[in-house]
Amino acid sequence: MDVKDFIEDLLQEEPIFERKEALNPDYIPANLPAREKQIKELAIIFRDILTKPGSVSVTAITVGKHGTGKTVTVRKFGELVTEIGKERGIKIMFAHVNCHKQRTVFLTLVEAARQLNIDVPNRGLSTQELFKNLHDHLEKRKAFLIIALDEFDYLINTSTMEDLYLLARVYDEPGFTTKRINYIFIIRDLNSLMIVDRSIRDQFMKNVVVFPEYTKEELYQILKDRVENEKAIRKGAIEEEALRYIAEHSENARFALEVLDLAGVIAQTDGAPIITVEYAKKAISQINPELGIISKTIKDLDLHQLLLLKAILKNGGKQVSIGTIENEYVNIVRNLGEKPRKHSQVYEYIRKMKMLGLVITEQSGKGTRGRTTLVSVTDSVKEIEENIEKEIQNRLKEKTE
């Protein structure tokens, strides 16, 4: 088949995906599994702008690591409040601005205005004048605004204290009868606020909503929801096991969804009718090249080196003394009816695996009786524990054949 035909076929039908757009990073799904609590907390914090609009300017801060659903949850919340406002005859507007792109408070306000089709001058004003200008526009429209300042950590570092003060305290100044602008700050780490003045920080920290990391089960629920309710993947076009595998091997929701998307693309390119665990694995090693490299390295190890790795992994990747590992290794080998390698050989293996970037060694400090070498595996090795086990099984099979 020539390539042109191939591409045309590809455009005609997507055998794996039904609604691929539901996997886009900025897609907002109908459900947000495991984030109901955070949405409720935001609702409580912002209650006053629906019950007593204009009486307060509300600020909330959402904090959590990469891929914990901060952006999607806040945007969802924005949609919800706007809608509820409409039902109650209160005009609430919502803008979501990324501070990584708009690196001054001034520019974030300009961007918020642009999103709402509010015409503000984008130069020649001070930040405070711009704020006033935006406020007046809202006043004319009898509207209230929630601005979500995403990746706010960046703005803290790049903006002046004066501008941050403005965000936190502008409605403390006289001259405003109604308060129309409210904020949700989205940050990764509360420590980034340590550099701002106390009075500003206290205002920012009034209402903190925490986004904990997802458990593997929660990641699974998120994936499942995209597949089934959002119909990203055609019915039956992904193995249940593959979905589980992706959840198990993902650190956060962003990575998990990216893997799902790529696994589908690879399967489709292969002409496969269904996403299997193999495609999930391929996708993971492509997105996380380090894992790909480590997976290849594993294939070059001999059986005893693999068994030694298994012995180290027995402790869940914690640091253990080389003596303990050797005992563990000897046990594993004997259970297999094999003869363990000599002490000196075991040391040599560990040295080699250290050079290959599979294990980390460290000398135990004072306090422990006698000095010993402590060994642990790198994070990537932990990720591919299953591959190691499989590789061991393969080697054992080869031997008996």
**Region 80-109 residues binding Mg ion, contact defined as CB under 5 A:** none
The residue count for the chain: 401
What are 95's two structure tokens?
């803008």
Quote the CA–CA distance of 32 and 75 in Å, as a whole number: 11
C-beta closer to ligand ADP: residue 218 or 391: 218
C-beta closer to ligand ADP: residue 98 or 104: 98
Interface mask toward ligand ADP for 28-57; x: CB under 6 A: -x--xxxx----------------------
What are 286's two structure tokens?
């492509």
Quote the CA–CA distance of 380 and 382 in Å, as a whole number: 5
Quote the CA–CA distance of 315 and 362 in Å, as a whole number: 16
Find the part of the chain contacting Mg ion (CB under 5 A) among 65-73, 92-100, 121-129, 132-140: 65-73
CB 71 to Mg ion: min, Å? 3
Asked if 71 is part of the footprint of Mg ion (rule: CB under 5 A), the reply reads yes
**Region 215-234 residues binding ligand ADP, contact defined as CB under 6 A:** 222
Please choose which of Mg ion, ligand ADP, none residue 25 contacts, taking the beta carbon within 5 to 8 angstroms, the exact cut-off set by kind: ligand ADP
Q: Whose CB is nearest to Mg ion?
A: 71
**Region 80-119 residues binding ligand ADP, contact defined as CB under 6 A:** none
CB 61 to ligand ADP: min, Å? 13
C-beta closer to ligand ADP: residue 26 or 240: 26
Tokens 């708009």 locate to 102
Quote the CA–CA distance of 202 and 98 in Å, as a whole number: 23
C-beta closer to ligand ADP: residue 64 or 340: 64
Contact 322, 375 (CB under 8 A): yes
Asked if 257 is part of the footprint of ligand ADP (rule: CB under 6 A), the reply reads yes
Closest to 207 in 3D by CA, of 45, 65, 89, 11: 45
CB 63 to Mg ion: min, Å? 11
The burial class, CB within 10 Å (0-12 / 13-18 / 19+), for 355 is exposed
The burial class, CB within 10 Å (0-12 / 13-18 / 19+), for 52 is exposed
Residues 6+ apart with CB under 8 A from 274: 16, 236, 237, 238, 239, 267
Asked if 67 is part of the footprint of ligand ADP (rule: CB under 6 A), the reply reads yes
Residues that bind ligand ADP (CB under 6 A): 25, 29, 32-35, 64, 66-72, 222, 253-254, 257
Residues that bind Mg ion (CB under 5 A): 71
